[in-house]
Structure 1
Amino acid sequence: MALALITGASRGIGRATALQLAQEGYTVAVNYHQNEAAAADVVNVIVAQGGRAFSVRADIGDEEQVEAMFALLDKRQEPLIALVNNAGILFTQSTVENLTAERINRVLTTNVTGYFLCCREAVKRMSSKHGGNGGAIVNVSSAASRLGAPFEYVDYAASKGAVDTLTTGLALEVAAQGIRVNCVRPGLIYTEMHASGGEPGRVDRVKSMLPMQRGGQPEEVAQAIAWLLSEKASYVTGSFLELAGGK
């Protein structure tokens, strides 16, 4: 038995990934920040299906909380072999000229610093250099890192550009230590995140502009993440999987 930590696993892509990994035999650590009931629901669904899961609360942008979360994982009998950096935030659609430093910094703290901190702690536990048995990390970026998200979320897109660079750099650092680091870049996926941007129906509004003419489902992203974590992707590191319907 082995442990997989998924940040931001109470909804959307994180929830779908938790359910997928549980089906594949991982014990799943369901990280959440605020919605305890939603995280408990994910755990309950997994347990009802015969899987193993537990929830752990932490704001990944807070270093002390991240350290406490990993210390909690250390108390379990199973080694951490998988990390999915998924937690992310965005705010109401805005042009760059209307952004505030407070908003920019909040986005970067969660979407960039949080990913760095979780990667740091995972590497300390997985790396053969530290006596670990290896592992795999998947960072959830966004097609926005390529497209820029003009007039809507340039700050969010920029944070995901940083995630892309983190993926490349960390993959090279730890490749010889038994750790693979890869990235998925979802496009327009049906998740609750669009409501945070002020437009819950955004996917349906713009899906006709996509080559595939439809939005994606969280489960489609989850399956890609699961593959990157698996032994089937044992020679894959520093790679990016586009999940954006052709855009």
Structure 2
Amino acid sequence: MSSKILEGKTALVTGASRGLGRAIAERLGGDGALVAVHYGKNREAADTVVGQIKAAGGDAFAVQAEIGSVKSIEDLFATLDKELTTRTGAAHLDILVNNAGIAPNIPMEQTDEDTFDRLFDVNVKGVFFVTKHAIGRLRDGGRIINISSGLSRAVGGMDIPAYSATKGAVDVLTRQWAVAYGGRGITVNALAPGAIDTDMNAGWLRDNAESEAMIKSVQALKRIGKAEDIGDAVAFLAGPDSRWVTGQYIEASGGWLI
């Protein structure tokens, strides 16, 4: 079998200009998909990801939206339709990865209303309305992969309940959509990373010996995860070998709290 298992497929990865999203976009591009690299504010970072995908022999383009805004999501899909039609002749998607999210590392006592609302706008409303707009464009046999979190299953010393609740909502949507669109052969799964060394986690994890030791102490594989670990797991769920896997919460955490 060719290594380009996603050749001829199109993918939209939200929050793809850095961190997990970048690793996911680059892996899908490497597997042959035409990748729409979504970004919120940093066009330069998104263009860098597009350039990396093209330099590796793939194809990609950047699209912008504020994921917490329904109007901005509508504009994203108008742009996406034009770009896909220009490149492929039709505004069809095969893979949607709902990765964009925010994760302020604050306990309930420090969570104000604006922060709470922003969390749910981006992490839940954004996932809902991106998927709502994508589903009519998604071809039968397509893939939806929602990035969840190990925190929707277990706390393990992490006191960020509002963020954890948003990922619990994503898990529920995953199961609902798996049933709703299974008749079209569309699989819908939630992939839950554990502690991953990304910019989002830099404040509490990177170069923090105490946090690193705490994570390793409750983890089977005894190392901090890399963004590429998640990109590889998404590649499985996006590819043909995952055709009989749907409605699942799949943890990619190195065996956290098992």
**TM-score relative to the length of structure 2:** 0.88
Partner of 1:41: 48
Shift of 1:198: 5.5
Ranges in structure 2 where 5+ consecutive residues have no aligned partner: 1-7
Partner of 2:244: 235
Matches within 5 A, 1:108-187: 108-126=120-138, 132-148=139-155, 152-187=159-194
Matches within 5 A, 1:1-247: 1-75=8-82, 76-77=84-85, 78=88, 79-91=92-104, 93-126=105-138, 132-148=139-155, 152-195=159-202, 200-201=206-207, 204-209=212-217, 210-247=219-256
- Give secondary structure in 2 for the equivalent of 1:9: coil
C-alpha distance in 2 between matches for 1:69 and 1:222: 23
C-alpha distance in 2 between matches for 1:135 and 1:15: 21
Q: Which stretch shows the higher mean deviation, 110-119 or 206-215? A: 206-215
Tell me the alpha carbon deviations over residues 153-173 of structure 1, each in whole angstroms, 9 at most, x when there is no partner: 211111101111110111111
C-alpha distance in 1 between matches for 2:243 and 2:230: 19
Shift of 1:143: 0.1
Shift of 1:234: 1.0
C-alpha distance in 1 between matches for 2:245 and 2:149: 19
Shift of 1:108: 0.7
Partner of 2:4: none
C-alpha distance in 2 between matches for 1:148 and 1:165: 18
C-alpha distance in 2 between matches for 1:208 and 1:52: 37
Contact 1:12/1:192, CA 8 A, preserved across alignment? yes
Shift of 1:101: 0.9
Q: Which stretch shows the higher mean deviation, 68-77 or 49-58? A: 68-77
C-alpha distance in 2 between matches for 1:24 and 1:95: 39
C-alpha distance in 2 between matches for 1:36 and 1:80: 22
Shift of 1:199: 5.4
- Give secondary structure in 1 for the equivalent of 2:250: strand
Contact 2:63/2:80, CA 8 A, preserved across alignment? no
Amino acid at match of 2:237: L
Amino acid at match of 1:29: A
C-alpha distance in 2 between matches for 1:149 and 1:207: 9
Q: Which stretch shows the higher mean deviation, 145-154 or 101-110? A: 145-154
Tell me the alpha carbon deviations over residues 213-235 of structure 1, each in whole angstroms, 9 at most, x when there is no partner: 11111111111111111111111
- Give secondary structure in 2 for the equivalent of 1:147: coil
Ranges in structure 1 where 5+ consecutive residues have no aligned partner: 127-131
- Give secondary structure in 2 for the equivalent of 1:14: helix
- Give secondary structure in 1 for the equivalent of 2:198: coil
Tell me the alpha carbon deviations over residues 29-80 of structure 1, each in whole angstroms, 9 at most, x when there is no partner: 0000011111111001111111100011111111111111112222223321
**TM-score relative to the length of structure 1:** 0.92
C-alpha distance in 2 between matches for 1:189 and 1:233: 23
Change (3 A) 1:149 1:163: farther
C-alpha distance in 1 between matches for 2:213 and 2:200: 15
Change (3 A) 1:187 1:151: closer
**Count of aligned residue pairs for this structure pair:** 240
Partner of 2:5: none
Contact 1:96/1:151, CA 8 A, preserved across alignment? no
